[in-house]
Amino acid sequence: MEYWNEEQTLLAKTVSDFATKELGPMAEVLDDTESFNLNAFKAMAPLGLLGVLAAEEYGGAALGCTEATLVMEKLSEQCASTTLSYLAHTILCVNNITENASDEQKRKYLPDLIAGKTIGGMGMTEPGAGSDMLGMQTKAVRKGTKFVLNGTKTYITNGPIGDVFVVYARTGNEKKEISTFIIEKDFPGFKTGKKLKKMGMRASPTGELVFDNCEVPEQNLVGKLNDSVSHMMRNLNIERITISGISLGLASATLKYAKQYVQERRQFDKPLSEFQATQQKIAEMATDLEAGRALTYSAAKAYDRGDRDMSLGAKAKLFTAQMATRAGLDGIQLLGGYGYTREYPVERYMRDAKLMEIGAGTNEIMRLIIARQELEL
């Protein structure tokens, strides 16, 4: 089934070739050392990938959600970790600024972000506020021509390596009185906390952002004061669609490796691929992947048409996240003892896939969004 037009297919081929050359050979060693592929990240800039959704006047490619999603899929077939950092940069930071910032802010920050001179991220989650994003406690108080921020963000992708962060903070007493700020790493009172050691996505640095009387110029307020809930919801929607591309890439890589293995591996004098139990798993993996692609690119194309139904992204993310984790587990099972070792990549695929059920909204939150839409609650 064709999900992409001719230009999108060409983009997919270009990104796939890039990922095979630049990401694949380093994926295992970077997972082992928990290191970031900075060279590959910077090499994405000439291809226009770091500003895939941004306007051309700032150096962006001015493409849509469909193209951004297929980029995620093709990159993550080789290294989901690097792709996760790419998503945090392009969707959570660059696209957020593109959608919500002033022209002056765009001119100041977008060119360097899109050129790969600076690395971006976004700060929303806190130690005591994950799924309940409106329960955040980081506060910003205006003092003269500055805002002073106090609080901590955690589980921040690109936290240890980022230069520019889009950060949400409470600026009033009401639950929805939240504002958006652009934070530079050298702002007084800002520092990054400990780098977190993780089960998967180990080549994507994750850490804390700490604000201790952090001074932020008032011109770094994005949009209107106390009016950022809409910013968060818009960006969460496209994040959930595009992150589904990472799940697709992981499931695709797992299926490809598993098929190759069962055709080559022999037991009882015949290839594993001739056993019915093996065929059943391969059939389920392939069917799930096809269904995931149909759902994800349907949501992406709807977004590009202007349909901002939050449940579309939630459905795509829920299904593909579960599918990718299941594919990883089945891949390990098909490889048997070999699958459980780190000599083979399927265990990494499974570890990486599990984050898809947590990040950008847990499976449980996705179900709530979908149910509320279906039941008109």
> 200: domain CATH number?
2.40.110.10
Answer whether residue 80 is part of any domain: yes
What's residue 146's pLDDT?
98
Answer whether residue 1 is part of any domain: no
Let me know: does 302 contact 316? Beta carbons within 8 Å.
Answer: no
- Which residues on neighbouring strands pair with residue 216, listed in sequence order? 147
DSSP assignments along 269-289, one per residue? TEEGGGSHHHHHHHHHHHHHH
Task: Using the 3D structure, point to which of 222, 237, 268 is the last residue of a domain.
Answer: 222
What's residue 361's pLDDT?
95
Residues 6+ apart with CB under 8 A from 363: 318, 321, 322, 357
The CATH number that applies at residue 316 is 1.20.140.10
What's residue 2's pLDDT?
78
Q: Which domain holds residue 21?
A: 6-118
pTM exceeds 0.85, yes or no = yes
Closest CA relative to residue 66, chosen from 283, 273, 241, 202: 241
Same domain, 237 and 359: yes
Same domain, 84 and 163: no
What is the CA angle 73-78-81, rounded to 5?
80
Same domain, 87 and 188: no
What's residue 129's pLDDT?
87
- Structure tokens, 35: 């290191």
- Alpha-carbon distance of 141 to 143, in angstroms, equals 6
Same domain, 59 and 156: no
Tell me how far CA of residue 296 lies from CA of 28, 62, 146, 314, in angstroms: 28, 20, 42, 10
Let me know: does 164 contact 184? Beta carbons within 8 Å.
Answer: yes
Same domain, 261 and 366: yes
Same domain, 206 and 272: no
Task: Using the 3D structure, point to which of 118, 137, 159 is the last residue of a domain.
Answer: 118
Residues 6+ apart with CB under 8 A from 202: 30, 31, 32, 34, 81, 351
Closest CA relative to residue 153, chosen from 210, 196, 84: 210
Same domain, 66 and 196: no
Please list the helix, strand and coil fractions of the chain in percent, rounded to the nearest 5, in that order.
55, 15, 25
Answer whether residue 101 is part of any domain: yes
Residue 162 carries which side chain, given as an amino acid letter? G
Same domain, 164 and 183: yes
Task: Using the 3D structure, point to which of 118, 133, 165 is the last residue of a domain.
Answer: 118
Same domain, 278 and 251: yes
Answer whether residue 266 is part of any domain: yes
Same domain, 218 and 131: yes
Answer whether residue 104 is part of any domain: yes
The CATH number that applies at residue 43 is 1.10.540.10
Same domain, 42 and 56: yes
- Residue 56: DSSP 8-state: G
Per-residue pLDDT of the chain (377 residues; tens, 9 = 90+): 678 999 999 999 999 999 999 999 999 999 999 999 999 999 999 999 999 999 999 999 999 999 999 999 999 999 999 999 999 999 999 999 999 999 999 999 999 999 999 999 999 999 998 888 889 999 999 999 999 999 999 999 999 999 999 999 999 999 999 999 999 999 999 999 989 999 999 999 999 999 999 999 999 999 999 999 988 888 999 999 999 999 999 999 999 999 999 999 999 999 999 999 999 999 999 999 999 999 999 999 999 999 999 999 999 999 999 999 999 999 999 999 999 999 999 999 999 999 999 999 999 999 999 999 999 98
What's residue 119's pLDDT?
98
- Structure tokens, 68: 């951004």
What's residue 132's pLDDT?
85
Answer whether residue 75 is part of any domain: yes
Number of domains in the chain: 3
Closest CA relative to residue 169, chosen from 237, 222, 238: 222
What's residue 190's pLDDT?
98
Q: Which of the following is catalytic: 239, 264, 343, 364?
A: 239
Whether residue 239 lies in the annotated active site: yes
Closest CA relative to residue 251, chosen from 317, 324, 358: 324
- Alpha-carbon distance of 16 to 105, in angstroms, equals 33
Same domain, 61 and 176: no
Answer whether residue 54 is part of any domain: yes
What's residue 1's pLDDT?
61
What's residue 334's pLDDT?
98
